[in-house]
Chain A
Amino acid sequence: MSEVKSYLVGVFDDDDVLLAAIKNLREQGAKILEAFTPFPIHGIDPALGIKRSRLPQAAFMFGATGTTCALTLQISTLGFDWPMNIGGKAHLPFPSFIPVSFELTVLFAALGMVGTFLLASGLGPGSQKTVFDPRSSDDKFILVFDIEKNKQFSVEKLTEMIKATGASEVNIKDIVEKH
């Protein structure tokens, strides 16, 4: 089943104008669905009310898993499964275990974090997230409003409000959403 949803798409030419517009429109009570920009903009997260990403915590957990796996592997194989006398060294030479433990910590943290990021953002080969305006990956800054969620304003009123904050154009975009 699919349904058509309508969105208002405000196109801005400058990131600072966009930032001011976001603050202004949110103060007026408009609900912004998302902003789409060609590059990360400093200060857009608090303006849009986006919470700080918890990915670094995830990376730490993955890293800790990596350390544990590496130590378990080395201690169990060299220390217990088949202890060998290598140059008269102890069977559990912890200094020798540092390099491999470190490498696996980094490997697990990096892969785990990137995997979490791709999953959380729904990115991956074959994924096609909605592009409201293809110019948003070039030099335009896009603000998208769900018309249904901004019922308190008429479409004309909302368009006017967005224009007043400095948008160079405001378009209505219909997206077919599959369920």
Chain B
Amino acid sequence: MNVTSSVREPLVTGGKTWADITNDICRQVEGKPSKSWIIAFTFSVLLLGVGVFCVMYTWFVGIGVWGLNKTVGWAWDITNFVWWVGIGHAGTLISAILLLFRQKWRTSINRAAEAMTIFAVLCAASFILLHMGRPWLAHWALPLGNTYGSLWVNFNSPLVWDVFAISTYLTVSVVFWYIGLIPDLATIRDRATNKISRLIYGTMAFGWNGSAKDWSRFEAVSLVLAGLSTPLVLSVHTIVSMDFATSLVPGWHTTIFPPYFVAGAIFSGFAMVLTLMLITRKVFHLEDYITLAHVESMNKVITLTGSIVGVAYITEFFIAWYSGVEYESYAFINRATGPYWWSYLAMMTCNVFSPQLFWFRSVRRSILATFVISIVVNIGMWFERFVIIVTSLHRDYLPSSWAYFTPTWFDIGDYANSFGLFFTLFLLFSKFLPVINMAEVKAILKSAGDVQTGQATGNAKVKSNETVSHN
């Protein structure tokens, strides 16, 4: 009996059994790296090498190597920071919020999305260190008793909140991701044919043996971590937006920033997940696990969040005019028509217009169109942060200090460093760890697979729809 509802598309295709899932996902972990992986990895490491040189040079000489000037004191550094943090949010959204909403399609993509979260937050953290100029004094941002007097950090400052938010977010994301990995690491350990991988994966699996008692605790932990991560992820980008919103700079001092930033973060994060997953599914032949139904679901989230972002842009513009504040109105008119009009245009086209193409079913189910739009969206989201940061700063209250920011090679090199770091880590992850959560996909196979499985023995009882519905 086929228990798959005819209305819902199957989430795992190809008539997979549980053993097939284990074999398909473990294959690339156990086998030799493919040629395309080696080429991609070499390229990433080279990029990272160039990036590390640029970062070292920036540290050695100081942030004067960037194109900053007295008027524009934040540019690519904070743009990149906000961009990477935002990208990270999709992983937590998929693993935590969609878990609470019981969206089964998240099971095929949550592992890779969470890994992406961690790597993206690391990239973001690298820009926090960089923009300090003197990263060896980074501990000054922590509330440590110090020898310079009894001064403490200022807990009124959103920059201090940021330190707590980002470090908590990174820690909790790593823990959440690793706990989810444990059962799958045990699977790899139990299959290992040589001593070294048995030792390494055995140590990493923490001795997991899949007992019912441990699964019971595991599920309790997953659920509570999801419950904690959900407000956490919303708080992180809220606090990031407060870096701007609590200031008095026209264009930054906006109350809609928190929800607008969170929507933008999910928007760009889903786009990045799609970019990575479309490549991963192709290279590792995971088309049966990451199906068109998954791509379509993610595209719907992109359309929703992209539209929220679009509404936010228009609201900001309207309020700037409606407030009657001359400076506020000017900041927004200057964004659209001033010297940085091209970045505003890029932002509007990429973020507001391009995701609307997903209203057409043929577009949101097309791999090529999705891949292109996913990259376009992330370009647009980078420009959004650039527009907010640089165009609000470059023309302040005093026309005599108006300036223009142009990036130098070190702005570009330090940005390239984060890409090198991100792709190197992601490629290492995709080779040495299971990119799909095997245990979770196995758990949904009966109710969401395209054929009924697990009835190898004649004794198996045919399950009714009733037992499936509340799984």
Interface residues of chain A, those whose CB is within 8 Å of chain B, are: 13-17, 20, 34-42, 44-45, 48, 50, 52-53, 55-56, 59, 63, 73-74, 77-78, 81-82, 84, 86-87, 89, 93, 96-97, 99-100, 102-104, 106-107, 109-111, 113-114, 117-118, 120-132, 134-139, 166, 168
Contact = CB atoms under 8 A, between A and B. Distances in A.
A99 B207 contact: no
A130 B214 CA distance: 13
29 contacts: A14-B455, A15-B446, A40-B218, A44-B215, A50-B213, A53-B217, A55-B220, A56-B223, A56-B224, A59-B228, A77-B143, A77-B153, A78-B152, A78-B154, A82-B150, A87-B156, A99-B161, A100-B160, A100-B164, A107-B171, A107-B172, A110-B172, A111-B171, A113-B221, A121-B213, A124-B207, A129-B207, A134-B190, A139-B442
A81 B150 contact: yes
Contacts of B256: none
Given A13-B457, A37-B210, A99-B161, A114 B150 contact: no
A114 B225 CA distance: 9
Q: 6 closest A-B pairs (Cβ-Cβ)?
A: A127-B207, A139-B18, A166-B459, A134-B190, A99-B161, A77-B152
Interface string B158-187: 101100110010011001100100110011
Interface stretch (B261-269, B281-289, B419-427, B460-468): B460-468
Interface in B321-378: none
Interface string B190-217: 1100000000001110111111111111
A38 B168 contact: no
A81 B152 contact: yes
B466 to A, nearest CB: 12
Contact of B215 (A14, A40, A104): A40
A131 B171 contact: no
A126 B225 CA distance: 24
B213 A59 contact: no
Nearest to B236: A103
Interface in B230-288: 231-232, 235, 239, 242
B132 interface: no
Interface size, B (range): 35 or more
B218 A117 contact: yes
B168 A14 contact: no
B463 A16 contact: yes
B185 to A, nearest CB: 9
B155 interface: yes
A128 B164 CA distance: 35
A106 B172 contact: yes
B212 A37 contact: yes
B398 interface: no
A114 B221 contact: yes
Contacts of B220: 52-53, 55-56, 117
B186 A137 contact: yes
Contacts of B182: 123
A111 B175 CA distance: 8
A113 B222 CA distance: 10
Contact of B221 (A97, A103, A117): A117
Contacts of A131: 190, 209
B221 A123 contact: no
A55 B224 contact: yes
Nearest to A55: B220
B439 interface: yes
A73 B206 contact: no
Contacts of A84: 154
B216 A50 contact: yes
Given A41-B443, A168-B457, 18 more contacts: A15-B454, A16-B454, A36-B209, A40-B218, A56-B220, A86-B156, A100-B161, A103-B232, A106-B168, A110-B228, A114-B175, A114-B179, A125-B204, A128-B207, A129-B207, A137-B186, A138-B190, A166-B457
Contacts of A48: 212
Nearest to B22: A138
Given A14-B454, A96-B155, A124-B206, A38 B164 contact: no
B427 to A, nearest CB: 25
A128 B202 contact: yes
Contacts of B225: 110, 113-114
Given A99-B161, A103-B168, A103-B235, A139 B17 contact: yes
Nearest to B440: A39
A73 B155 CA distance: 10
B134 to A, nearest CB: 23
Contacts of B214: 121, 123
A102 B442 contact: no
Contacts of A37: 210, 212, 215
Nearest to A38: B442
A128 B175 CA distance: 20
A78 B156 CA distance: 9
B456 interface: yes
- The residue in B17, B158, B179, B182 that gathers the most chain A C-beta atoms within 10 A of its C-beta is B179
Contacts of A41: 212, 215, 443
Contact of B151 (A36, A82, A93, A121): A82
Contacts of B459: 17, 166
A136 B210 contact: yes
A118 B206 contact: yes
Contacts of A124: 206-207
A123 B208 contact: yes
Contacts of B155: 74, 77-78, 96-97, 100
B471 interface: yes
Interface in B124-161: 143, 149-156, 158, 160-161
A166 to B, nearest CB: 4
Nearest to A81: B150
A92 to B, nearest CB: 10
A2 B232 CA distance: 48
